Copies of this chain bind each other. A is one copy, B any other.
Amino acid sequence: MNPALSGERFVVVYHLRGTREEATAKAEDICLEDTVELPLDLVPDGPIRSEILGRVENIRPISGDVFEARISFAVETTAHELTQLLNIAFGNISLKPGLRIERFEFPDNLLESFPGPRFGRDGWRKMLGAALRPLLCSAIKPMGMSAHECADLAGRLALGGIDIIKDDHGLTDQPFCRFEERVGRCAEAIQKANAETGMKCVYMANVTAPQDEVFHRARVAKNAGAGALLISPGLTGYDMMRLLAEDDDIDMPIMCHPAFQGSFVTHPENGISHHALFAQLARLAGADATIFPNYGGRFSFTREECAKIALETQGPMGHIKPIFPTPAGGMTLQRIADMARVYSGEVIYLIGGGLQRHETDLIEACRDFRRMAERSIMNDDARRP
């Protein structure tokens, strides 16, 4: 064996649509397409064929016309780069219909290359002084408000007891609400509210931005007093989130937003499963919390898909910390009791417009939100697992 090859392999589990014969052909195609990109008869003998080429570890039927294939790849093909890892798992093969990544199985020597979330669930809880209860998040919206209006809203949300007040993910550096001004005013308003309430609410600034601006904005946010960062890896690339998470000077928890990523999940026969995308990849790339559309809201995710995401936010993944699922998208206070059965207390509830509906008494609506979230873990089937 080539001395540069350790023999260690990672596994991608794919769901393949078709008869057994078709699924087997698809599995063999994945092995070629995402590594050597040559027809099998042109692949040279020796380590390229025995090690570099993907390998079908096993294949089994899981329903009438879906087969599950476990395919392994040499760890070294990834060059221990997140970009190249995604390329091996779903580069060219993403262009072929009828196959979907179900989950990843990473060995320790691959995970070691990725520090993952810097804070994770425990880090959030410590920062926010909340040992057991669900955490509360709301958003500064709508786009179009001035920085003053954003700060006014942020202050009232903080007075109401929200833990994390985030920029809506569409707030960047628009001429009607510049990043630097917004971030300064919002952080200040929240600090003022904290001084009044004695709570530890944090402002989360959106740093989804041009590549050469992301770190600048993160530093501006930190200097202004923000406590966390929001980023949409579908727009910046996953590796930008990884780089932010690894930065010792930035050193803030990160929440990721699913903008521009819907096409990976909207069709059940293609793409990447909800839990592999929004939990496994989010964790690998350093997110401390992962936003996704909750079941029964404005989007079409099912309760089962959401439960699987939640499960994978804490599934075994070597040294990579568990992170918080952050279900969102048209949520209301009335949904919390049911959501607690899916997410237990290990969740960040994100309610935006659902609180603003109580505009005349927004602070009181936030307090209701807090009470309902606390109460939601008082019954047996929704305790911390």
A-to-B contact residues, CB < 8 Å: 2, 4-5, 33-39, 42-44, 47-48, 51-52, 76-77, 79, 81-84, 86-88, 90-97, 139, 141-145, 168-170, 172-176, 208-213, 232, 234-237, 239-240, 242-243, 258-267, 269-272, 293, 298-300, 329, 352-353, 356-357, 359
Contact = CB atoms under 8 A, between A and B. Distances in A.
A166 to B, nearest CB: 12
A239 B35 CA distance: 26
Contacts of A174: 4, 76-77, 79
Instruction: Give the residue among A139, A143, A168 with the most B Cβ atoms within 10 A.
Output: A143
Contact of A175 (B79, B87, B258, B329): B79
Given A91-B232, A95-B265, A209-B83, A33 B298 contact: yes
Q: Which 6 A-B pairs have the closest CB atoms?
A: A94-B262, A237-B237, A36-B142, A95-B262, A48-B144, A52-B144
A260 B87 CA distance: 6
Contacts of A95: 258, 261-262, 265-266, 293, 299-300, 329
A240 B34 CA distance: 23
Contact of A299 (B96, B237, B293, B356): B96
Given A83-B235, A263-B267, A266-B270, 14 more contacts: A5-B175, A34-B170, A35-B143, A48-B145, A84-B235, A86-B235, A86-B260, A87-B259, A94-B263, A94-B266, A95-B258, A95-B265, A211-B243, A266-B271
Contacts of A4: 174-176
